[in-house]
Amino acid sequence: MSRVTFPAGFVWGAATAAFQIEGSTTVDGRSDSIWDAFCRVDGAVRNGDTGDPGADHYNLMADDVALMKSMGLQAYRFSVAWPRVRPDGGAVNPLGLSFYDRLVDTLLDKGITPWLTLYHWDLPQKLEDMGGWANRDTAYRFAEYTNTVTECLADRVVHWTTLNEPWCSAFLGYAGGIHAPGRTDPEAATAAVHHLMLAHGLGMRAIRENVPRAVAGVTLNLFPVAPVDPADESDVDAARAIDGLQNRVFLDPVFDGSYPADVLPGLAELVQPGDMELISAPVDFLGVNYYRDYVVSGHGEPRLPSEWVGAEHVTFPPRDLPLTDSGWEVNSDGLTTLLVDLADRGVPLYVTENGAAYPGIEDDDRVTFLDGHIRAIGAAIDRGVDVRGYFCWSLLDNFEWAEGYAKRFGLVHVDFATQQRTLKRSAHWYARVIADNGFGE
């Protein structure tokens, strides 16, 4: 393979999410999140797994940061658990907040830059009982929570992300019922889209007020979408619908100040004066989570109503591509396409999640996956795209949402019975990429 060298200052990191790794879900004042409640629903999560013990990061944090240092990670993207910091969405919990205070200090002591995500899907269950993201008031509760975290960590944390993948929160959680809170209500999902984006805007305002030197943005899971047959009107319509629901309904309000008119018509009725000005306030970067691309058709067996609200006619014909352990098609070229398509949004891009589920510690498939996708980023940079960093998903094997502990995304193997950590082959490989700032011959 040819040599690929990344620009000076390119950021190499790894990412996690609080509910997936922390465990300790009932200690130090933490209240239930929607995921704690969802895990108690029979059949909602594979094998009846829960977020406790997770990878016990709450107790093993210092050891995990030492592992990051041993791998040469320059940055660590993590999320704060809202139910720890403001249990039930209410008063501030100093014990919960102190964990993130210690985490940030430990990272900085090891020379690792903290990248903080405020919301990675763990809404306090009490707020869900009041309507959750279908309730406009939840966005204002998020602003209160953001104020709490920023006031505590403004002196040490520069890089802030409001939301992670609002598509999953809105559509998997409120339409498809696949993720917490497990609802199957398209109208609630539409409302959740707007209220999540409003939370982003309110969160950005709080960050700007409390962290003068903040580098702040939002992270979206984005997928390049193409029709099976570009000359077939039904396929083109299908691609437009999926691109609208997956990408444009979140990109357009942030960068253009409006929702696309061709998807979720009910969104327009939810917008109140001043909302779009908040949502479209300038961001300093866009976080891009990429796992696969989509090629879609308007023909074939109709889909049952699910997370694709208004696009139930779309089909996803399989292609002759390798599959991850999750059954996802692998196409690293799609990442180049996506980054090139995003270049005209006018802000720096960071690949804030990219990875795959594969079994084993000698995980050659993961090495191949990461090699192809990191080279795809290099190809985008060669085409003039301003990509400034890469965060591998994930640092640790973890609770993989509805799949429980069955799928392993980590660079580090976790024995969930003993909590022993073992660097996988991919971790050693990634450490060399970081040290070389790219690939040798």
Residue 322 CA to residue 331 CA, distance in Å, equals 8
Q: Residue 44 corresponds to which tokens in the numbers above?
A: 């909602």
* 366 Cβ neighbours under 8 A, 6+ residues apart: 355, 356, 358, 411, 424, 425, 426
Collapsing DSSP to helix, strand or coil, 139 comes out as helix
* Amino acid identity for residue 365 in this structure: D
Question: Is residue 384 left, alpha or beta, with left meaning phi > 0 and alpha meaning psi from -120 to 50?
Answer: left
CB-CB contact of 150 with 116 (8 Å)? no
Collapsing DSSP to helix, strand or coil, 115 comes out as strand
Active-site position among 22, 128, 165, 329: 165
CATH of the domain at 167: 3.20.20.80
Can you say how many angstroms the Cα of residue 91 is from the centroid of all Cα atoms in its chain? Answer: 27
Domain extent at residue 370:
4-439
Active-site position among 128, 329, 353, 400: 353
Residue 6 φ/ψ, nearest 5 degrees = -90, 160
Residue 429 CA to residue 222 CA, distance in Å, equals 26
Question: One digit per residue, pLDDT tens: the chain, 441 residues?
Answer: 677 899 999 999 999 999 999 999 999 999 999 999 999 999 999 999 999 999 999 999 999 999 999 999 999 999 999 999 999 999 999 999 999 999 999 999 999 999 999 999 999 999 999 999 999 999 999 999 999 999 999 999 999 999 999 999 999 999 999 999 999 999 999 999 999 999 999 999 999 999 999 999 999 999 999 999 999 999 999 999 999 999 999 999 999 999 999 999 999 999 999 999 999 999 999 999 999 999 999 998 877 668 999 998 899 999 999 999 999 999 999 999 999 999 999 999 999 999 999 999 999 999 999 999 999 999 999 999 999 999 999 999 999 999 999 999 999 999 999 999 999 999 999 999 999 999 975
Q: Residue 161 corresponds to which tokens in the numbers above?
A: 């992300």
Number of C-beta neighbours around residue 105 at 10 A: 14
Q: What percent of the chain is helix, strand and coil (3-state, nearest 5)?
A: 45, 15, 40
Query: Peptide bond preceding 359: is omega within 30 degrees of 0, i.e. cis?
Result: no
Number of domains in the chain: 1
Residue 376 φ/ψ, nearest 5 degrees = -65, -35
CB-CB contact of 225 with 293 (8 Å)? yes
pLDDT at 414: 98
pLDDT at 302: 74
* 98 Cβ neighbours under 8 A, 6+ residues apart: none
Collapsing DSSP to helix, strand or coil, 61 comes out as helix
SS (H, E, C) 209-269: HHCCCCEEEEEEECCCEEECCCCCHHHHHHHHHHHHHHHHHHHHHHHCCCCCCCCCCCHHH
* 244 Cβ neighbours under 8 A, 6+ residues apart: 260, 262, 263
* 332 Cβ neighbours under 8 A, 6+ residues apart: 369, 372, 373, 375, 376
Residue 257 CA to residue 73 CA, distance in Å, equals 36
Active site residue 353: yes
Active site residue 151: no
